[in-house]
Amino acid sequence: MRIDHYCGIGPDGHWWGRLRLCVDASALRRLGLHPEQPSAVPADPPPPAWWGRW
């Protein structure tokens, strides 16, 4: 895993910053995350009724 941090002064004179997280694909595959993985589905129990209103 690698975290890159970019920062500087913007055209308006304010500081800005960004983070980029890089993870090796083989590490994700060991966690079961891979291109052939099926789409996520709601877990049991289903989310509460108010969940979709946000």
pLDDT, tens digit only, all 54 positions of the chain: 899 999 999 999 999 999 999 888 888 888 877 767 666 555 567 667 787 665
In the block, tokens 């910053």 appear at 17
Contact (CB, 8 A) for 7 and 16: yes
Handedness of CA 30, 34, 37, 39 (dihedral sign): positive
| pLDDT value at residue 23 | 85
pTM beyond cutoff 0.75? no
Sequence spans of domains, the chain: 1-33
| pLDDT value at residue 41 | 59
User: What does the alpha-carbon distance between residue 40 and residue 52 come to, in Å, rounded to a whole number?
Assistant: 16
- DSSP code at position 33: -
| pLDDT value at residue 9 | 95
| pLDDT value at residue 13 | 94
